[in-house]
Structure 1
């Protein structure tokens, strides 16, 4: 044994062991008498299947058997668990998961994660009733699981972060019980899936500060009703569904919206936001009367036909915008679509008086791209930096030179290519 290790305290050795795979940590018990029981005091238990390289540089799956997990828990002695993570490539029985989670709850676990994301189907789980009344749990993350039941009595007094990703529930009331009985919940992630037995997700959590909603599958329609309260961060991805926000969001700082068809009132409810990311289809209609009067940074990704007209609408209603980052993903439905840009009668106020930074990613010099870029450079009178990030060097060099010779509204503007 290296003398440098023998000089370390047990607490420091345990901390070091907590960063290595659990199977390797258990193996250290063979090193010497001192190491025999160190791993049994680990405050973090991570039972994770993983890919490793063998001696021939081939990738092999290193799995942890149920017998190994049971044996590890039976020998474990730490009175308190900081975290318990179960990340498996193969399905476990509901009874096994229930036993393991009960062990974690009995050790006053603070962070619990159950992840079966690599399964082609959902894993049935039964969580012990005492988990739903766990006083110490602060973080709960569930991925690709199906609840057999959610008890009528749920009380997460300390839960601050909850991630429900591709989770199937017995019914809508089960989902509501999971999230509404957490008085200090601050961060919520809901990623819905097909056949989850929930048509309308109602989210009403007064303490919530950050919310992420994902419904990125086109084969099922979902409806979200969100009581905004104190939200300061909002991230919504919806391809087939409807999102309605109830109440104003005066505390909102950062928001992101990606949608093909904006059903609901999300866009018109973001008027207090300061930093906004929009990925919108041309079919999205800009809401009449909506003004982003506090918006200073906009990331815009347009796809489909006539995205440029939607961009102008957003600029016209963002009077103090200072930073514009644009990304064209090239998703034009018909390459032969005639470019038809309805120029505003006067330049947006943000271009004339406030815009300082302009960035364009995936600029290729196509007609619609060139016209929009030239328009912004010509009318942005306070612009300081303009950055164009292109694809291939020779194609982008010509496109960049066209912008270099274009009229600029700001003499101080420095145009660069990356």
Structure 2
């Protein structure tokens, strides 16, 4: 007896939603009971990587037929496309998505398999008024005379996307009146020098640049998001990140920048958890700045001013409970790191710091002095972990 077929339609549809769309469609041949079920599955995922043995035409016809025969509302529609997809196909499928009032749309293109640009039709931002999540990767957006209408969009991913220009980007984000999460990775030749994000409702932002992107002093991000709670900035090559408004609600920030972190840090003084990776540690943030809510700090840098930066952050973070130094070493053997023991012990060492971790400790004279100062002054320390990558047993013993 087929016990699965005796389950309710609701439960069967939930099971089918977890399967690849190609396998879902195949269930129609099981029995009359299963024949109409696949047409009501709310989540559809097309991945042409599993169709390596068929040509472009057959895959396109399969997608066309599946979307045409599907009768129920489609909540989630995902495309992961490589060599078997064509530019015209994408346009038709997006038109179908618009007609079916899709709420979660994802279009990921494998740009390594084809040099042909995939252009998204204007109907994407003129007809998808019910979208909540939109994920685009390696596509080209076209301009439109009217503003996009993304009044319900909360999650937006723009990865390796090419734009009509900077003004279009501003208009696109301005149309997202309730946007909460933004993930951007700028790519080479994307027609944007300054990527402006001015979204009052934004709560989470991830801003990155691809490694092959041409960088100059005019290239960067402008961020105006006073409601932001989570911030990730990955700008390890060059360029800038300008923050135009304070972020009093910031909880967590990952800041990986090549230079000029002062403007970012001065805007996120309310942060609670901070990962800071710098190649330039001098004047990392304005004198007088205080991080009163910071409880967890990780610092990654090999710059010669690293120890003085550490002492400044300890001084200006009176509530710090956890400190981690990651890859915290001076690589240039011709220079010695700057270390000046402070005249007074930072408040966090006396009253709050409980966990101290040092990764890739090398045992230089300066490092030993810093460790000694923290161990001697940390009255509330409960856990200390100091590790080294050296395999020399004698050197390890000397460090110990």
Q: Is 125-134 or 178-187 further displaced after alignment?
A: 125-134
CA distance in 1, matches of 2:65, 2:384: 60
Partner secondary structure for residue 265 of structure 1: helix
| Residue number in structure 2 paired with 1:408 | none
CA distance in 2, matches of 1:129, 1:229: 31
Q: Which residue, 52, 70, 73 being the options, matches 1:76?
A: 70
Deviation string, structure 1 residues 108-138 (Cα, Å, up to 9, x no partner) = 1110111114536573222242643423110
8 Å Cα contact 1:102/1:128 also seen in 2: no
1:186 to partner: Cα distance: 0.8
| Residue number in structure 1 paired with 2:300 | 301
Q: Which residue, 354, 357, 371 being the options, matches 2:355?
A: 357
Q: Which residue, 208, 216, 220 being the options, matches 2:215?
A: 220
1:209 to partner: Cα distance: 1.1
8 Å Cα contact 2:106/2:136 also seen in 1: yes
Compared CA separation, residues 333 and 376, structure 1 to 2 (3 A)? same
8 Å Cα contact 1:390/1:396 also seen in 2: no
| Residue number in structure 2 paired with 1:147 | 141
Compared CA separation, residues 137 and 63, structure 1 to 2 (3 A)? farther
Q: Is 183-192 or 6-15 further displaced after alignment?
A: 6-15
Compared CA separation, residues 100 and 305, structure 1 to 2 (3 A)? same
8 Å Cα contact 1:243/1:264 also seen in 2: no
1:390 to partner: Cα distance: 4.6
TM alignment of 1:58-207, pairs within 5 A: 65-78=59-72, 80-90=73-83, 92-119=85-112, 121=115, 123-129=117-123, 131-207=125-201
* TM-score normalized by the length of structure 1: 0.85
1:167 to partner: Cα distance: 0.9
| Residue number in structure 1 paired with 2:321 | 322
1:377 to partner: Cα distance: 1.6
CA distance in 1, matches of 2:287, 2:111: 44
Compared CA separation, residues 362 and 92, structure 1 to 2 (3 A)? same
1:336 to partner: Cα distance: 4.2
| Residue number in structure 1 paired with 2:5 | 6
8 Å Cα contact 2:90/2:118 also seen in 1: no
8 Å Cα contact 1:364/1:395 also seen in 2: no
Runs of at least 5 residues in structure 1 that lack an aligned partner in the other structure: 53-59, 404-418
CA distance in 2, matches of 1:333, 1:108: 56
Compared CA separation, residues 350 and 187, structure 1 to 2 (3 A)? same
| Residue number in structure 2 paired with 1:414 | none
Q: Which residue, 370, 373, 394 being the options, matches 1:372?
A: 370
Q: Is 155-164 or 259-268 further displaced after alignment?
A: 259-268
CA distance in 2, matches of 1:38, 1:26: 9
1:170 to partner: Cα distance: 0.7
Partner secondary structure for residue 263 of structure 2: coil
| Residue number in structure 2 paired with 1:346 | 344
CA distance in 2, matches of 1:114, 1:82: 15
| Residue number in structure 1 paired with 2:267 | 269
| Residue number in structure 2 paired with 1:20 | 19
TM alignment of 1:29-68, pairs within 5 A: 29-50=28-49, 65-68=59-62
